[in-house]
Amino acid sequence: MHSNTFSPIHIFKGKKKMKLLVLAILTISLLFPFSLLNFLFCSLLAFSLNYWLIPGGFAWRNHHRFSVNLPGPSGWPLLGTLPQMGPLAHRNLAAIAHSFKATRLMSFSMGATRAIISSHPDTAKQILCGSAFSDRPVKQSAKLMMFERAIGFAPNGVYWRNLRRIAANHMFSPRKISDLEGLRREVADEMVAEVSGNMASEGVVRLREVLQKHSLKNIIESVFGSGMEMGRKGELSDMVREGYELIAMFNWEDYFPISFLDFSGVKRRCNELAGRVNVVIGQIVEERKRVNNEFNNDFLTTLLTLPKEDQLSDSDMVAVLWEMIFRGTDTIAILLEWIMARMILHPDIQAKAQDEIDLCVGGNRHVRDSDIPNLPYLQAIVKEVLRLHPPGPLLSWARLAVHDVHVDKILIPAGTTAMVNMWAIAHDPSIWKDPWTFKPERFIENDMSIMGSDLRLAPFGAGRRACPGRALGLATVHLWLANFLHRFRWIPCSSTKSVNLSECLKLSLEMKKPLNCRVVSR
Ligand code: HEM
């Protein structure tokens, strides 16, 4: 029974789908008897339906003995579930898992890529925190843009472990995060000034533009220090924007193990971009090597002053610095845009947060990092937005099984892509009371860590590949949010209907319509 040869008969004996297959072939045979067309059509149909019938779909064809125990959609012949995923893959996969009663674990196919997805904290923990899923399936565009030499896509091994250690000890340590507070406060002040300026000149705040511009500045200066000339900043900003566009583009080669012609030009553009990144960041590294001030706080100085045994080659340094700018910009801007949309839609919650800030900070000084532990309601707001609008609803980048492993006592073969639908978990009514209601109070009543120890809400992932930038990301979001609420009352442009919560999943889950609003100084 456990043979590798695929025989639909023994898998689907007595099942409805088999009857459907036979019925379809019989019908065609009756309609076009004795013709070549009949023969070809029936063969094609039988071939397609064979794969269509496999639980989990086409990509599980050589592993049906595993997937037979694992509910999941057969999807389309060859394409699997790709056509059903669409631009809101987190919602569609959640609905499919629900319909198959497969929230704990579901098999599916993305073209020839064999995949499982968990929409439950127990199986999510097994996937994220075990050692088996410690690799990532590499997207073609990520590879071409050099991310395989950076933390996010480096294969599990000595090099990746070394990078994680350097990141944890030197780039995202509590001390480094506190060293960067001055920069975060400076950027907060600049954003407040720009918001006031927008209001004075146009009567409207285009918040997305403000957030994108200043998060980029914040991360560029965290990585390279201050004093970079405008032209170079502009160049880095263009490269990041181009990179987002390319990594979000659909690429057949990510799902089929054959090389397609580069019709959309993704590969050509990725190669060109990688060339520019190497030149621009390579030059910055070279210049800094000539005149390095070891007392600077930025990541580049940190990498250049590492002990000899930890030193990275120039090209690896370029890849790591490039990834930092890339990952550190959109996640923070996107999360803050969602938070401010929620603040405008829930003025009572906004006012409650402002009361808390006023009580803690008063009116004569600006908010500081050290105030944040005394602002539990503000922290609860951030958690509630991360629950309802996680920037990585499918945890951004999937994991890959490096060896055969049991999840929920089901054997998953090596090479299977594993995803966690954090959005589905965070909206599950059996886990969360009133999951669709925006209610930060739930975290005051029952607080929980969101750093990866409790899989009911782990927006930064968990386990050995969890987000290394999570503490820095949260410190930034808390400080900027507190500043925004301290200085302004945030109101909609016309009615609250002007705030549209529609989503669009690119690399991160963005608001489909950029948030425009108004502010009143406090
Ligand atoms: C609100 C902010 C952020 C969110 C929601 C977020 C979310 C995530 C998620 C879900 C993952 C995948 C985790 C997993 O597979 O278990 C991840 C990985 C990663 N994040 Fe973040 N992130 C944020 C900020 C940042 C920042 C500021 C940086 C760096 C400057 C960063 C750098 C990375 C890197 C390098 C990885 C790959 C880690 C690895 O594969 O070992 N992130 N992030």
pLDDT at 9: 35
Distances 441 to 209, 444, 457, 460, 483 between C-alpha atoms, Å: 30, 5, 15, 21, 21
CB 199 within 8 A of CB 521: no
ipTM reported for the complex surpasses 0.90? yes
Q: How far apart are CA 400 and CA 327, in angstroms?
A: 20
Closest ligand 1 atom to 391 CA: 5
271: Cβ contacts below 8 Å, ≥ 6 apart: 144
E strands, 91-237, in order: 106-110, 113-118, 205-206
CB 473 within 8 A of CB 466: no
At 202, the pLDDT band (50, 70, 90 cuts) reads very high
Per cent of the chain over pLDDT 70 is 89
Q: How far apart are CA 230 and CA 236, in angstroms?
A: 10
- Which stretches within 228-346 are classed as H helix? 230-248, 266-290, 299-304, 314-345
Query: 338-359: per-residue pLDDT in tens?
Result: 999 999 999 999 999 999 999 9
**Buried b or exposed e, range 310-341, using 16+ CB within 10 angstroms:** eebeeebbbbbbbbbbbbbbbbbbbbbbbbbb
Q: Which domain holds residue 101?
A: 85-521
CB 80 within 8 A of CB 110: yes
Assigned domain for 40 exists: no
Ligand 1 centroid – CA 466 distance (Å): 7
Query: 257-268: per-residue pLDDT in tens?
Result: 777 777 778 889
Q: Which residue's alpha carbon is at the smallest distance from atom 17 of ligand 1?
A: 467
Assigned domain for 67 exists: no
Residues with CB under 6 A from ligand 1: 128, 151-152, 164, 323-324, 327-328, 331-332, 335, 391-392, 395-397, 459-462, 465-470, 472-473
Assigned domain for 219 exists: yes
- For residue 205, the SS3 value is strand
Domain with residue 398: its CATH number is 1.10.630.10
Ligand 1 centroid – CA 517 distance (Å): 29
Ligand 1 centroid – CA 462 distance (Å): 10
Ligand 1 binding pocket mutation candidate from 327, 453, 510 (most atoms within 8 A of CB): 327
Assigned domain for 416 exists: yes
CB 442 within 8 A of CB 384: yes
CB 414 within 8 A of CB 63: no
Compute the radius of gyration of the chain from its Cα atoms. Answer: 25
Amino acid at 31: L
Tell me the pTM. Answer: 0.90
- For residue 507, the SS3 value is coil
Assigned domain for 66 exists: no
Distances 178 to 173, 186, 196, 470, 479 between C-alpha atoms, Å: 9, 14, 28, 14, 12
Q: Which residue's alpha carbon is at the smallest distance from atom 3 of ligand 1?
A: 331
CB 519 within 8 A of CB 195: yes
Query: 279-301: per-residue pLDDT in tens?
Result: 999 999 999 988 767 677 889 99
By C-alpha distance, which of 376, 398, 386 is closest to 427? 386
Assigned domain for 418 exists: yes
pLDDT at 8 > cutoff 60: no
Query: 183-192: per-residue pLDDT in tens?
Result: 999 999 999 9
Closest ligand 1 atom to 222 CA: 30
* Helix 470-487, helix 181-202: angle, nearest 10: 40
pLDDT at 48: 60
Task: Categorise residue 396: left if φ over 0, alpha if ψ from -120 to 50, beta otherwise.
Answer: left
Query: pLDDT averaged over the chain?
Result: 89
At 22, the pLDDT band (50, 70, 90 cuts) reads low
pLDDT at 162 > cutoff 60: yes
Assigned domain for 481 exists: yes
What token pair was written down for 478?
Answer: 């808390």
At 310, the pLDDT band (50, 70, 90 cuts) reads confident
Q: Higher confidence at residue 16 or residue 297?
A: 297
pLDDT at 179 > cutoff 60: yes
Distances 473 to 130, 152, 332, 333, 459 between C-alpha atoms, Å: 25, 16, 6, 10, 12
CB 101 within 8 A of CB 425: no
Q: Which residue's alpha carbon is at the smallest distance from atom 27 of ligand 1?
A: 328
Ligand 1 centroid – CA 375 distance (Å): 24
Q: Does 42 appear as a known binding residue? A: no
Q: Which residue's alpha carbon is at the smallest distance from atom 11 of ligand 1?
A: 467
pLDDT at 3: 34
pLDDT at 309 > cutoff 60: yes
Assigned domain for 241 exists: yes
Please give the tally of structural domains in the chain.
1
* DSSP tag of 4: S
How far from chain centre, in Å, is Cα 489?
30
Number of H helices and number of E strands within the chain? 21, 11
pLDDT at 41 > cutoff 70: no
153: Cβ contacts below 8 Å, ≥ 6 apart: 136, 138, 139, 142, 143, 147, 397
Ligand 1 binding pocket mutation candidate from 467, 470, 476, 478 (most atoms within 8 A of CB): 467
- For residue 440, the SS3 value is coil
CB 437 within 8 A of CB 446: no
* DSSP tag of 446: S
* DSSP tag of 417: E
Q: How far apart are CA 406 and CA 246, in angstroms?
A: 35
Q: How far apart are CA 142 and CA 155, in angstroms?
A: 13
